[in-house]
Chains A and B, each alone.
Chain A
């Protein structure tokens, strides 16, 4: 199901995972019991009389008794550009629920956590001078919305460039990736509309759909067959209670799913969309710039014509090293969005230097800066990704995601391994990201590696060395045999081309 790896743990590992969650659960309640009964809840802050507690105890149990045990593996501050190597600021070890204080010194670590696919995070000899030019000419912020006095020529240039880059008629930008989904989707799906959303869609899409008042139906992650079944049932059944036909149906999928590293099966989904006359909204937050020979995203990678996709959304925070998001579509759609989108009418315009960063990054990607650096970055990213994925598979890790995808979730399954892996890697100078329940299902805790074009081969080899030790210390060799066969079979097809 998940590209090169599987989400289902071996039986023993599943039992061990349940056992460790059980232990955490019991210890948590034991501590709560003591805190309430023995210490009389002294530590709990006195609630103002007559007010309901701002956080119920049961709601807060996970945070209090599980998250705070490993909260040093998250929110690690850095004091350098989020490039291939970062200076992670060291913090005091975990001590109950007290906040962690900075100790002052820093650790030089290889950065496998940030989304810096094409390496535009730090200084760039083409982009940075142009960004500073715009900082001098237009300032760092416009203090007003795009509709009032926030639009600058650079905004219009960016929107023209991104529309041309994707082969669509027009585009509109927004100052934050999350707000792009949560502010634009309510305009595309209203009452009487059905949104058919992938099970693992990002929470910004969920926020947008929930804010739109449209009805939602979820289909199994990346399963076009189930999508078709859901669509047929929905069209035949009509709207709940009234039985009227749906006004329209919008299918929402993502280019690369950030927690799976998997590409959407776009060809089948587009076929289904055409057959049932639905509209398709593609969120390319991770795939724009990272996939495709020209960096044009998942459509170029899978050979799908962008004209078949009605709304193309993406963000500038990952491959372009800036901030914000865009929506590209045909001219009428974009004019409608300009006139009615809260992000365009109320929110502050995107910061001009950030706009210039994306414009110059696009120039580099398309080779308009006169050099081949863009092509080289894209090729380097793909080679790094495939090399790292192949070596991880050889080490016996259970690696999710497809080939060519720079996002590589490595399955840990057991919650106890989250802090173990993260802390050991940090001590060996490797900054990785671990994700567990509730962000992922209970059984599927994982470590997520994001490869960047600015990683050199020695960097990757160093990381693989640490992973070698990790797999021995924390027993991460879950799928040694299946990987061997998979590699043997794919040796001929894939790796010759790499």
Chain B
């Protein structure tokens, strides 16, 4: 928690015993800053004890809202006032108590240089007039000869100026002097006209002096760079997999049945994909050493993009080198300040980040609640009718299978809404590619969409396709625009070639054995969801509609309130650890970053694959039941 107010250090100058009050007290009392008397403050009822030092870091709440600029100016004026007060006190102390007339030295000192000069000048003028008047009396002239010379000079001066004299105004005017006068007047008038306003400007703040800035910089104390972690987060370590990626893995040295990896179709262990990767490493090396624009485009990238476009049935596809950077690059490429993005509340962090980076207006509707979505759409429609603003770009963003909840977006019903209100649909098929749809194109195909009916399809190759990288499929205009304005595409190194080859092989494999793999996956998903309903203390997130989703979140059944989420996480982490250590079953407890907008309730995430058998499912449900009884009871 940052310090509420500016830490104010007591001024330790011996002379001024006034402790440097927190600035706000002056502001609160609002009383005139009487330099001599210590200011009466209304919050001190009892007789003033020896000036209690106000603890610098707990100033009264009222100074919270004092703007820093005003405080520094007041600080500056206070310090100035301090100095005067110190001087006055200093003086006061020497002759304390007696009424005294200030000695000449004091008076002179008090006037300062300007005052002294004025005093001398006035005395000199008086003296001169005195002597001139004296020189008119004949007796004085005889007494002092110089007075005579002075007298004649004065007479001659008078002759010059008197009527008829050369300097008299009348002569002046005859010699066209009036031009000079008029010119002078003209100059004065223009000067006055051009003069800025003479009223003193309100709130004109003098810039801080270097010394004050130094003082402020030296007093400023930063927070630590990172907050300290609670003990159980600090102690947590990731499970270490020391074996091939597949159904059976060795986690933390223990053989375990793998339900943590999103290897839905079991492509992650295939030999022919591994051989293709080995050949690519032999030919191209590991990295691509450059962004796509600067010789980082390798022919395997072009093959993969063409293959993805053919698989998704769209005109073109663009390849991103990481799934986390795909959506945060797509949304800012198409939405800017004037546009509107409406997302489901349960979207993953990448979409939240992309919507935030796009600077568009972002609205969220309740998770899978189309009535709430329609309310937002209708409200926006009404707003459009009222204001005549030009049509802006509008998007509805949903996920095929939601990473944070495991259920499906209601795409079938969404189609009517999208067409009626004319919104472009962005579907993130990261988890549903290779899982849903007759050809494995994802949830849009499952809901009966033609490939070009979804304007922008974002996807990932790191789940079912068991490679790394993201892609976006759409028509040529959408994809080509991203080649220049997709940040994650043009400013990042391209995907390593061997991972592109792995993607191509995975797509070939999917097209050959896709149907039966996806059927087996769907059976396992439905079977597990049915069995998992009986686990005490845990409930399956997403009702019957999420039947087909192989990603299952098992949330705590009496859903804990928001503030007990951490405790719920710790409980579920113990369940997961116990399942691994005792029963050799590897799950993942759903972890969320603090950057998430709204963190879902604690849950265990189970990823089913096509390789799992009925026996595996029984084993895993039994393990969960026993672990939950022990931990959650």
Partner-B contacts on A (CB < 8 A) = 45, 48, 50-52, 54-55, 60, 63, 67, 74-83, 86, 88-89, 111, 113-116, 120-124, 127-128, 131-132, 135-144, 146-153, 156, 175-179, 182-183, 186-188, 192, 202-204, 207, 210-211, 231-233, 235-239, 241-250, 276-279, 310-311, 315-318, 320-323, 332-333, 335-343, 345-348, 351, 353-354, 357, 431, 433
Q: List 27 A-B contacts (CB under 8 A).
A: A54-B455, A54-B478, A81-B285, A82-B295, A115-B289, A115-B290, A136-B274, A139-B269, A140-B502, A141-B462, A143-B261, A150-B241, A175-B322, A176-B325, A177-B493, A204-B492, A207-B357, A235-B216, A236-B208, A236-B213, A236-B217, A239-B68, A243-B70, A247-B222, A317-B493, A335-B233, A354-B496
CB distance from A75 to the nearest CB of B (A): 5
Determine whether the beta carbon of B281 is less than 8 Å from that of A178.
Answer: no
Determine whether the beta carbon of B244 is less than 8 Å from that of A176.
Answer: no
Determine whether the beta carbon of B226 is less than 8 Å from that of A353.
Answer: no
Determine whether the beta carbon of A139 is less than 8 Å from that of B245.
Answer: yes
CB distance from B430 to the nearest CB of A (A): 10
Collect the chain A residues with CB atoms within 8 Å of residue B492's CB.
Answer: 176-179, 204
Query: What are the 9 closest A-B residue pairs judged by CB atoms, nearest first?
Result: A243-B68, A178-B492, A176-B322, A148-B588, A347-B324, A348-B462, A149-B260, A238-B68, A317-B493
Q: B258 at interface (Cβ–Cβ under 8 A)?
A: yes
Contact A149-B251, Cβ < 8 Å, known A139-B245, A243-B69: yes
Collect the chain B residues with CB atoms within 8 Å of residue A354's CB.
Answer: 286-287, 496
Collect the chain B residues with CB atoms within 8 Å of residue A238's CB.
Answer: 68
Determine whether the beta carbon of B593 is less than 8 Å from that of A141.
Answer: no
Cα A93 to Cα B455 in complex, Å, equals 31
Binds A, one of B148-156, B180-188, B386-394: B386-394
CB distance from B71 to the nearest CB of A (A): 7
Q: Which residue of the partner chain B has the closest CB to A152?
A: B241
CB distance from A385 to the nearest CB of B (A): 17
Q: B424 at interface (Cβ–Cβ under 8 A)?
A: yes
Determine whether the beta carbon of B287 is less than 8 Å from that of A316.
Answer: yes
CB distance from A426 to the nearest CB of B (A): 11
Cα A153 to Cα B243 in complex, Å, equals 10
B271-294 CB contact bits vs A (8 Å, 1 = yes)? 001100110011111111110111
Q: B135 at interface (Cβ–Cβ under 8 A)?
A: no
Determine whether the beta carbon of B491 is less than 8 Å from that of A333.
Answer: no
Interface size on B, residues (CB 8 A): 124
Determine whether the beta carbon of B394 is less than 8 Å from that of A52.
Answer: yes
Interchain CB contact (< 8 A) of B325 among A75, A77, A124, A179 = A179
Collect the chain A residues with CB atoms within 8 Å of residue B239's CB.
Answer: 148-149, 151
Determine whether the beta carbon of A149 is less than 8 Å from that of B249.
Answer: yes
Cα A140 to Cα B241 in complex, Å, equals 14
Collect the chain B residues with CB atoms within 8 Å of residue A333's CB.
Answer: 225-226
Determine whether the beta carbon of B222 is less than 8 Å from that of A141.
Answer: no
Cα A142 to Cα B466 in complex, Å, equals 7
Collect the chain B residues with CB atoms within 8 Å of residue A243's CB.
Answer: 66-71
Cα A137 to Cα B284 in complex, Å, equals 21
Contact A78-B297, Cβ < 8 Å, known A248-B223, A346-B324: yes
Binds A, one of B35-43, B87-95, B345-353, B519-527: B345-353
Determine whether the beta carbon of B357 is less than 8 Å from that of A179.
Answer: no
Cα A340 to Cα B292 in complex, Å, equals 30
Determine whether the beta carbon of B481 is less than 8 Å from that of A237.
Answer: no
Q: B356 at interface (Cβ–Cβ under 8 A)?
A: yes
The listed residue with most B CB atoms (<10 A of its CB), out of A315, A332, A343, is A332
Determine whether the beta carbon of B286 is less than 8 Å from that of A357.
Answer: yes
Collect the chain B residues with CB atoms within 8 Å of residue A114's CB.
Answer: 289-290, 294-296
6 further A-B contacts with Cβ under 8 Å, apart from A235-B216, A236-B72, A342-B350, are A141-B468, A187-B595, A207-B487, A320-B287, A332-B229, A340-B595
The listed residue with most A CB atoms (<10 A of its CB), out of B72, B238, B260, is B238
Interchain CB contact (< 8 A) of A149 among B70, B302, B339, B586 = B586
Q: Which residue of the partner chain B has the closest CB to A351?
A: B468
The residues in B between 417 and 472 inclusive whose CB is less than 8 angstroms from any CB of A are: 422, 424, 455, 460, 462-463, 466-468
Q: B477 at interface (Cβ–Cβ under 8 A)?
A: yes
Determine whether the beta carbon of A353 is less than 8 Å from that of B277.
Answer: yes
Contact A86-B462, Cβ < 8 Å, known A123-B285, A351-B499: no
